[in-house]
Amino acid sequence: MNGIRLGLLIGLVSVAAWSAEDAPPLPKDQPVVKGGNLELGLFGGESYGLDRFRPMGGANIAYGLSPALFPFAEASYLPGVLRTVNIPTGTTTSYQQFNVNMMDFHAGLHIRVPKPESPVVPYAVVGLGMIRQSQSTSTAYLVTNFGTVPFSANMPSTVNFSLDFGAGLRFFFNERFALRLEFKAFKPIGANAVVANGVSTPVPSTVVYRFAIGPVFQLR
């Protein structure tokens, strides 16, 4: 099921990119992307790769150094989902359950490719930032031949640096308002492990994917 959902997200971005070629032009007196622009955006979507699909939401700000180069900073919140990890214990299999909220903070550069008189602006994105896991509580269930015994332990917060890269589209309805579609990948660097009840659970070192959609407000 997760593979199907990930495929649908990638397909949606592909269809949007294909449709962008036929988008109607804006009037010549409505500039879309230029140096000095200040943008504020909100977004929501899903991520996959930390453990399973997670809903997420956040905000970002970007400033135009030129029509093509927009430095940005963003933050997003990923509410925790219940995870279960099996633990071999001799002839039985015990298990551990926990729920960890996450936040990410990133800054980087949008490399945009504006088309004359077009309301659709494709762009590439690259950045560097961190992923923070909040403090939480883990419960391990020791399964024996005589029953199941629960043990609780605190899980400390951790911070991991990460690289991010991807691409997106901005659909401008007028000079001040646009809709953003974006697909990004995050690569944790030197992931720290969360340890609870003697079980080490690191942030995955594999690539984490994120799809986001939301409004963009061009303030100037």
What would the pLDDT profile of 8-53 be if each residue is shown by its tens digit?
444 444 444 444 445 455 454 454 678 889 999 999 998 876 656 7
Task: Give the integer Cα–Cα distance in Å for 87 and 80.
Answer: 21
Domain ranges for the chain, please list them. Answer: 2-23+34-218
What are residue 7's phi and psi, to 5 degrees? Answer: -65, -40
CATH code of domain 2-23+34-218? 2.40.160.20
The answer for residues whose C-beta is within 8 angstroms of residue 80's C-beta and 6 or more apart is 54, 99, 100, 101, 102, 134, 136
Could you report the per-residue pLDDT of 100-145, keeping only the tens digit for each?
788 889 999 999 998 877 889 999 999 999 888 888 777 888 888 7
The pTM of the full predicted model, rounded to 2 decimals, is 0.71
